[in-house]
Structure 1
């Protein structure tokens, strides 16, 4: 079976990482309720390789930010599209995300996130 994934990279202020983690643990459950097969987010640890552009450079990370790399696995692109629609209208998401996007304490800024849907190349 050829799955489809959504992938993303974003900066999170180091001092808000615990709060971010608490929120995305619930977000992952919501995605799975709406059709995701799996949901992963990892914090960058070894992000430099000579001769390449690093994730921190790509998203212009600040000194006090960590890089989060994540992906959500779906059965197909169609299942992903349906899940995206359902998650976008799930009222729990609004309640969860609102504190993270408060301008006075910006934890998550979608304008600084790289995102895309991906079909299999090698499995």
Structure 2
């Protein structure tokens, strides 16, 4: 069964193009480690919630936009192997990170229901 990694990232508005370019550069490496799909999205309608919301989740600051992203993996083992490679494969260190990684949040998920049209 597939495995999903999800991310919320606050990105300075002026770094939108750099963020897109960073994703384009990282994709071949993720794919080499087995990723099947990546989806990077730029916040369009991010409403404020009463208790929590995307903005508070990443401590969004003025002039930033929340990016919501996910990656599909063939299985947890492929995902974990890629994660471990970030400590050993020097190509990861060459990647630009046009955002403050301290405010990024991520997690990995086992699908429990999936349907397509």
Same fold (TM over 0.5): yes
**Structure 2 residue matching 1:72: 3-state secondary structure:** strand
With the length of structure 2 as denominator, give the TM-score of the two structures. 0.87
Gaps of 5+ in 1: 101-106
Number of residues of Structure 1 aligned to a counterpart in Structure 2: 114
Gaps of 5+ in 2: none
Which residue of the partner structure matches residue 27 of structure 2? 28
CA distance in 2, matches of 1:36, 1:61: 28
More helix by share: 1
Provide the aligned C-alpha RMSD in A.
1.7
With the length of structure 1 as denominator, give the TM-score of the two structures. 0.83
CA distance in 1, matches of 2:93, 2:29: 12
Which residue of the partner structure matches residue 101 of structure 2? 110
Which residue of the partner structure matches residue 74 of structure 2? 75
Which residue of the partner structure matches residue 60 of structure 2? 61
After TM superposition, where is structure 1 displaced by more than 3 Å over at least 4 residues in a row? 49-52
